[in-house]
Amino acid sequence: MSPSSRVLVEICLDDLSGVGAAERAGADRIELCAALSEGGITPSIGTVAGALQAARRIDVNVLVRQRPGDFVYTAEEVEAMVADIRAMRSLPRADGVALGFVIGALAPDGTVDLPATARLAQACGEAPVTFHKAFDQVPDRIAALEQLVSLGVTRILTSGGAPSALDGAAELGELVRRAGDRVTILAGGGVRPANAAEVVRRTGVREVHLRAMEAVPSASSTASVYDTGTREVTSEAVVAAVVASVSEVAA
């Protein structure tokens, strides 16, 4: 498979050790978050700085989501996210490591909040911009795709509005067809080593997204209400298995 036809793998994580694990296993990019148990929110500036220091090759996309819950934001929340983006853009990183941002805002009726999304995208400057899975909530995803193209969004993370990328394969394929080379469709939702290649074959996507976690014993020997005895970290083996799976898909 030629470099231009490779299927790229993005790993969603909230553990700093996962940056190195994803890079060693051959992933192309991470989506750095905090509180994935809450669906993911903006990580701290220190966490972003640590990830950018750890990355030697892998690109780093940062989720910018001010709070859990719905994606309908107040003006004050949008300005807080703009401030986060600006602060993160000033952080140092290794040559060749791209910093991007993952954003998204909806109006109360579920359509894309164009003013808020434009404000966030503008704050990203020249950095790559991904519109996150709020996209799956919009009532007309084809229309939303065209709106996001007009805003200069780089990619859209979606499962085609279905519980998983395989369930939404038909719509994902249609989104890929309509997107062409204007915006990248990033397939996420239930992607695992056992089905990643099938997702690619059935949809035509050239990028997949997943959380490659495993449970490990807690480092503490003392249990508490905050410590169940295990915690979730990024599995190098799971990342490597997905990378190997999609690398076998014919160009």
| pLDDT by position in tens, the chain (length 251) | 444 579 999 999 999 999 999 999 999 999 999 999 889 999 999 999 999 999 999 999 999 999 999 999 999 999 999 999 999 999 999 999 999 999 999 999 999 999 999 999 999 999 999 999 999 999 999 999 999 999 999 999 999 999 999 999 999 999 999 999 999 999 999 999 999 999 999 999 999 999 999 888 887 767 677 777 778 899 999 999 999 999 988 54
* Residue 69 φ/ψ region, left for φ over 0, alpha for ψ in the -120 to 50 degree band, beta for the rest: left
What is the model's pLDDT at position 224? 74
- Counted domains in the chain: 1
Compute how many other C-beta atoms are within 10 angstroms of the C-beta atom of residue 164: 17
What is the model's pLDDT at position 218? 81
Output the domain CATH number for residue 121.
3.20.20.380
Which residue is associated with the tokens 């040559």? Answer: 95
What is the model's pLDDT at position 2? 44
Judge contact between 251 and 5, C-beta under 8 A.
Answer: yes
What is the model's pLDDT at position 250? 56
What is the model's pLDDT at position 3? 43
Compute how many other C-beta atoms are within 10 angstroms of the C-beta atom of residue 60: 22
Question: Domain residues for 20?
Answer: 3-247
Contacting residues for 97 by C-beta, under 8 A, at least 6 apart: 52, 55, 56, 57, 58, 59, 60
| Nearest-angstrom CA–CA distance, 81 and 202 | 36
Judge contact between 192 and 242, C-beta under 8 A.
Answer: yes
